[in-house]
Amino acid sequence: MKKTIVAFLTTVLIFTACSSEEGDKPSGRANEKLAAKFGLTVFEYENGIGPIKEKLNIPAEIDQIMAQSGKEIFDAKCTQCHKINERYTGPALGDVTKRRSPEYIMNMILNPTEMTQKHPEAKKLLGLYATQMTFQNVSKEDARKILEYLRSVSN
Closest approach, Cβ 140 to another protein, in A, equals: 15
- Alpha-carbon distance of 85 to 79, in angstroms, equals 12
Q: Name which position in 47, 136, 148, 151 contacts another protein (CB under 8 A).
A: 136
Vertex 100, ends 97 and 103: CA angle to 5°?
95
Q: Binding another protein by CB under 8 A: which of 11, 68, 132, 154? A: 132
Q: What's the CA gap between 14 and 125, in Å, rounded?
A: 16
Four-point Cα dihedral 45, 149, 91, 137, nearest 10:
-80
Binding-site size for another protein (CB under 8 A) equals 15
CB 14, min distance to another protein, A:
26
Tell me whether residue 64 or residue 132 sits nearer to another protein (CB atom). Answer: 132
Span of 5-13, 48-56, 102-110, 134-142 interacting with another protein by CB under 8 A: 134-142
The residue among 31 and 136 lying less far from another protein, judged by its C-beta, is 136
Per-residue binding letters, 111-130, with another protein (x by CB under 8 A): -------------------x
Exposure b/e, 75-86, CB count within 10 A at least 16 = b:
eebbeebbebee
Q: Which helix (H) or strand (E) holds 20?
A: helix 2-20
Distance CA 22, CA 25 (A): 8
86 in contact with another protein (CB under 8 A): no
Interacting residues with another protein (CB under 8 A): 75-77, 79-81, 89, 130-132, 134-138
